[in-house]
Amino acid sequence: MAKKKFGFVSMMLASTLALTACGGTDSDSSGEEGSGETYVLQAGHSLPDDHPYHLGFLEMAEAVEERTDGQVTIEVFANSEIGAERELTEGMGLGTVDLVVSSTAPVTNFVPELGVLDVPFLFQDRESAVEILEGDIGDELFAKMEENGIIGLSWGENGYRHITNAVRPIETPEDLKGLKIRTQENEIHLAAFEALGAQPTPMAWTEAITALQQGVVDAQENPAIVADQFSLYDANQKYMSLTGHVYSVAIYMMSQQTYDELPEELRDIVVEEGQKAGARERDLIVEMEKESLQTLKDNGMEIIEDIDTAPFQEAVQPVYETIEHQDLLNEILDAQ
């Protein structure tokens, strides 16, 4: 029985796979389901193996293996084991990784319009975000991704981003004045925290924990699940303010090359299950967020819950005017 393994190792085995892909099996060279060939797809992400990103992929993998009678299996790699988000996203274009779930940030290198989703306080609530992303606007963004060799399967999330810090409770924008806060390498986030009076310091997450522990930065912003899974209460983070300043959109994606190389019937099953992954993952996020907030409290972190976000929204309004894709921004705002 022929066995094809896509993903990270395909870079080393590209020529062999090309020959196998052309040859099929002795009984059926068409490569359609029933030819007896099996396929191993590699899926990657940057978060721990108990994060909903991972659990969503595991459910997808189980369903795909069952529906294809074992012809397609999906190996899931957590913790940037086969690449951080940027490398994974680029890998889909190169054909070195098959499936990825990631924040939108690295995908903006291919589809700049996705940067609009990083605008603070863009969505009124989670329900509005899901309705917009699963509607025409989301479909248009997926179409732009497909033009760049990436198949958008479904919209997930990493929860709402909140601020933690080692200095004081954050209740108003004034409380952020002068705080050194680690941010993603994201121009919109940098501009927003500058507008709020903080001192944003962009760095990779792999460096951030040490920076927090050593006091190089005072604060960071991430969903509660991330603060929990990386034990930020052991990294000098005494306070978490539930600002919910960004709804952190994630995307389950598939390499166009992988899509093209799979037989149609098998491909359809992978895509169908990938289209279900985002909703499953969002449900897990909602459930686990509550558990994570309780864990943070139990470990001594003070949670500031009743935040009046209006002053924060007002402070970041100038950032809206700098957004490149104003039509898309206004379309999203008007849809709520």
pLDDT values of the chain reduced to their tens digit, one per residue, 336 residues: 444 566 644 443 333 333 333 333 333 333 444 467 999 999 999 999 999 999 999 999 999 999 999 999 999 999 999 998 999 999 998 889 999 999 998 899 899 999 999 999 999 999 999 999 999 999 999 999 999 999 999 999 999 999 999 999 999 999 999 999 999 888 999 999 999 999 999 998 889 999 999 999 999 999 999 999 999 999 999 999 999 999 999 999 999 999 999 999 999 999 999 999 999 999 999 999 999 999 999 999 999 999 999 999 999 999 999 999 999 999 999 999
The confidence score (pLDDT) of residue 26 equals: 31
Quote the CA–CA distance of 5 and 38 in Å, as a whole number: 8
> Which pLDDT score is estimated for 4?
57
pLDDT at 17: 33
pLDDT reported for residue 105: 86
Q: Directed axis angle between helix 187-195 and helix 310-320, to 10°?
A: 130
Where are the alpha helices (H) located in 123-231, listed in sequence order? 126-133, 136-146, 187-195, 205-213, 224-229
The reported pLDDT for the residue numbered 25 is 31
Pairing of strands 302-304, 219-222: unpaired
| Pure H helices in 42-176 | 52-67, 85-94, 126-133, 136-146
Tell me how far apart the alpha carbons of residues 98 and 10 are, in angstroms, rounded to a whole number.
Answer: 10
Nearest CA to 161 among 44, 24, 310, 309?
309
DSSP 212: H
**Residue 200 to residue 205: CA distance in whole angstroms:** 14
3-state DSSP assignment of residue 303: strand
* Single-letter amino acid code for the residue at 60: M
Determine the distance from the C-alpha atom of residue 221 to the mean position of all C-alpha atoms in its chain, rounded to a whole number: 15
**Calpha distance 333→336 (Å, rounded):** 6
Which pLDDT value is given to residue 282?
97
The confidence score (pLDDT) of residue 5 equals: 63
Q: Under a CB-based contact definition with an 8 Å cutoff, are residues 125 and 138 in contact?
A: no
Looking at the DSSP assignment, which residues form a beta bridge with residue 100? 44, 253
Q: In this structure, are residues 229 and 153 in contact, taking their beta carbons and an 8 Å threshold?
A: no
> Alpha-carbon distance 248 to 70, whole Å?
34
H helix or E strand, kind and range, residue 73: strand 72-77
Query: Is there a contact between 166 and 241 (Cβ–Cβ < 8 Å)?
Result: no
